[in-house]
């Protein structure tokens, strides 16, 4: 053995992801590697597909994990559904809507932007106006849960609008899957992608996706070849999808699939609705503490994501110094602001396994200690009792 081995510090992960990965999932991850065409692995793939269908609440057979992070899952949706010349209505209310725009452009499509303020939900009225103004648009794309701001949009209503105007609906559910209500079939979402490292509490690196029948029809009838070989669903399907023999496409990340399987089992054991309720319950306690301390949320209450709490940095607090001290003194990671919100907010995640009462106590206690010591303008000592009251009330 070398003394150069990497031994990560033990952190509590309350940023925008990765979230804490439970020991049970890490243990599954480290099991012996088998071949990606081993019958035992092929059986595991079937189980993962079925568990993902449960998590997404869909019966679509084109539901599977992409062997790369959420950004690649986003790209998989766009490269398969957007062709050169296609007009796509893209809603932007944070960082990830901007990334969608980039994707449309790189596919040779024309994005029509519907802009909302960072921290706001997507405005269905503006979306309807855009759909009416662009009757030739072929798809509507929006972020269900904006990780950069903590705002949640009304996916059901937006998808309805898209269909009313003959558009496919492409939805980013990276931060919502497993954390807040998401019903892919009932809401008739056409393409959805997520990530493993948020409310599934799995290791980062994999992106679950699902495509509706309508989307599959669009893919099957494309005029141009999909520009990415790696993400071409026609090929990926033959490996993950078929009822018949699996065609070799790429070598699946075998061990990451063990971990994903375990995380999806845990979600099923808890029950999807129970997981949503737990995220909401713990959010209420954290919120009580943060507000008692004097910090304010940047998102209006009806659109707040329980799993990602974005609050303004109080006067007298140095952003980087506070996060640095939380990490060094308390082994606690919270998230910085991203893009336009850099230096202005903190993003506190209560995602998946990290959404637990003891993490609320740790986070409020550590913030109170560091901010008080820095002389920041907060109500010192008020946070923990306020949170405790909510936790005790259950």
Of residues 180-239, those binding a copy of itself (CB under 8 A): 195, 197, 203-205, 225-230
Task: Tell me which of 6, 220, 273, 358 binds a copy of itself, using CB under 8 A.
Answer: 6
- The dihedral of CA 72, 77, 83, 85: what is its sign? negative
Stretch that binds a copy of itself, among 13-21, 55-63, 129-137, 271-279 (CB under 8 A): 13-21
User: Binding to a copy of itself by residue 270, rule CB under 8 A?
Assistant: no
C-alpha span between 205 and 373 (Å, rounded): 38
List the end-to-end C-alpha distance of the chain, in Å, as a whole number: 49
Check if the beta carbon of residue 225 is closer than 8 Å to that of residue 234: no
User: Binding to a copy of itself by residue 24, rule CB under 8 A?
Assistant: yes
Peptide bond into 94 cis (omega under 30): no
3-state per-residue secondary structure call for 24-91? HHHHHHCCCCCCCCCHHHHHHHHHHHHHHHHHHCCCCCCEEEECCCHHHHHHHHHHHHCCCCCEEEEE
Task: Tell me which of 164, 217, 222, 250 binds a copy of itself, using CB under 8 A.
Answer: 250
C-alpha span between 88 and 362 (Å, rounded): 44
Minimum CB distance to a copy of itself, residue 300 (Å): 26
User: Binding to a copy of itself by residue 254, rule CB under 8 A?
Assistant: yes
User: Binding to a copy of itself by residue 41, rule CB under 8 A?
Assistant: yes
Minimum CB distance to a copy of itself, residue 323 (Å): 10
Stretch that binds a copy of itself, among 40-48, 175-183, 272-280, 384-392 (CB under 8 A): 40-48
62-101 binders of a copy of itself (CB under 8 A): 67-72, 74-75, 99
Check if the beta carbon of residue 363 is closer than 8 Å to that of residue 283: no
Q: How many residues bind a copy of itself (CB under 8 A)?
A: 77
30/381 with CB nearer a copy of itself: 30
C-alpha span between 264 and 53 (Å, rounded): 10
Question: Residue 335: in which H helix or E strand, if any?
Answer: strand 332-336
318-357 binders of a copy of itself (CB under 8 A): 327, 333, 338
Minimum CB distance to a copy of itself, residue 244 (Å): 15
């Amino acid at each position: 053995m070398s003394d150069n081995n990497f031994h990560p510090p033990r952190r509590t992960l309350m940023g925008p992801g990765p979230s804490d990965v439970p020991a049970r999932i890490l243990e599954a991850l480290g099991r012996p590697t088998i071949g990606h065409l081993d019958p035992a692995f092929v059986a595991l793939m079937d189980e993962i597909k079925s568990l993902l269908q449960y998590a997404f609440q869909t019966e679509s057979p084109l539901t599977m994990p992409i062997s790369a992070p959420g950004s690649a899952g986003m790209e998989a949706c766009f490269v398969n559904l957007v062709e050169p010349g296609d007009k796509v209505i893209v809603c932007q209310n944070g960082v990830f809507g901007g990334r969608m725009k980039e994707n449309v452009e790189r596919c040779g499509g024309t994005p029509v932007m519907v802009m909302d303020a960072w921290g706001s939900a997507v405005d269905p009225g503006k979306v309807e106006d855009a759909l009416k103004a662009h009757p030739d648009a072929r798809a509507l794309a929006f972020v269900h849960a904006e990780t950069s701001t903590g705002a949640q949009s009304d996916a059901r209503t937006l998808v309805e609008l898209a269909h009313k105007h003959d558009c496919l609906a492409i939805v980013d559910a990276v931060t919502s899957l497993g954390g807040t209500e998401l019903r892919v079939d009932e809401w008739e979402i056409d393409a959805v992608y997520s990530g493993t490292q948020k409310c599934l509490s799995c290791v980062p690196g994999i992106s679950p996706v699902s495509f509706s029948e309508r989307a599959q029809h669009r893919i099957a009838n494309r005029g141009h070849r999909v520009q990415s070989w790696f993400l071409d669903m026609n090929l990926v399907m033959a490996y993950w999808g078929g009822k018949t023999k699996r065609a070799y496409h790429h070598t699946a990340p075998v061990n990451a699939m063990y971990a994903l399987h375990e995380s999806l089992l845990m979600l099923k054991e808890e029950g999807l609705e129970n997981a949503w309720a737990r995220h909401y319950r713990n959010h209420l306690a954290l919120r009580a503490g943060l507000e008692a301390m004097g910090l304010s949320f940047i998102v209006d209450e009806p659109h707040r994501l329980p799993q990602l709490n974005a609050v303004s940095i109080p006067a007298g607090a140095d952003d980087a110094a506070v996060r640095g001290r939380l990490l060094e003194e308390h082994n606690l990671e919270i998230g910085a602001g991203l893009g336009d919100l850099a230096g202005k907010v903190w993003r506190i995640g209560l995602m998946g396994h990290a959404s637990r009462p003891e993490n609320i106590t740790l986070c409020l206690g550590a913030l109170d200690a560091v901010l008080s010591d820095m002389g920041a303008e907060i109500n010192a000592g008020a946070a923990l009792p306020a949170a405790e009251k909510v936790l005790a009330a259950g």
